[in-house]
Amino acid sequence: MLNYSQSEENYIKAIYHLQADGETVTTNALAQELLTRPASVTDMMKKLKTKKLLNYQPYQGFRLNNEGKKVALGIIRRHRLWEYFLSEKLKFGWDEVHEIAEELEHVSSKKLVDKLDEYLGFPKFDPHGDPIPDMNGKIENYQQVSLVDLPLNTLAEVCHVSNQSTEMLDLLKHKNISIGTRLEIKQKFHFDSSVEIKIRQQHLVTISEQLAKNIFVRYGA
């Protein structure tokens, strides 16, 4: 696997995100994403085309090919592993990790990244709930649903909370739930739609429908 410049890597990653929905990526969209000028994008697209990372014909937009996607997944892997490290080990807040990971992701040692992965215990999701590609660039399939829609006895991981009020965060803290918490539903009570959950290595707790609606989890497909 060749090495790419910091700038090339930032372009590759941005294209990957923009083309995720199957669309062709446009010059303007990419320029906006990277806070740069359309002319600069065109220049870089020519370069990445000669490096055989994407398909591009003038005026036709562009998409990463398989090689380009593989490179992108490597960068995303590094980015998310560092975010996890910053959040989990160094106790940075969710909002602070992205900017620093934006730099760390460009340190390219393969051995570093794989050892970091191991040290962190092969985490599956970054602090924002986004999946971390494994050594082979594979991202786990997952379903993302509100906790009220999680099937009984299905291990899932909290990946998102749709309400960030102090009150909600207080309650979550009290119930010992945060992003990354692994849990399963043991029982649903139809009277008030409350659910009884078992958090990994903790006791059973009951949470209200109100709260469950705002907790999002992912589980294996």
Partner DNA sequence: ATAATATTTTAGCCAAATCTAAAAAAATAT
Partner DNA sequence: ATATTTTTTTAGATTTGGCTAAAATATTAT
What residues make contact with Mn ion under the rule CB under 5 A? 10, 83, 102, 126, 128, 130
Position 46 contacts DNA (CB under 7 A): yes
> Which CB, 39 or 152, lies closer to DNA?
39
Minimal CA–CA distance to 144: which of 102, 179, 100? 179
Position 3 contacts DNA (CB under 7 A): no
Region of 33-41, 86-94, 130-138, 153-161 interacting with its own copies (CB under 8 A): 86-94
Q: What angle do CA 132, 5, 62 make, to 5 degrees?
A: 75
When binding is defined by CB under 8 A, the residue of 96, 130, 134, 209 that contacts its own copies is 96
- Beta-sheet pairing, 156-161 with 215-220: antiparallel
DSSP 100-166: HHHHHTT---HHHHHHHHHHTT--SB-TTSPBPP-TTS----EEEEEGGGPPBT--EEEEEES---H
Least distance (Å) between residue 63 CB and DNA: 13
- Neighbour tally for 135: CB within 10 Å: 13
When binding is defined by CB under 8 A, the residue of 44, 86, 150, 183 that contacts its own copies is 86
Q: Using CB under 8 A as the criterion, which residues of the chain lie in contact with its own copies when the complex forms?
A: 86, 89-92, 96, 99-100, 103-104, 107-109, 111-112, 115-116, 119
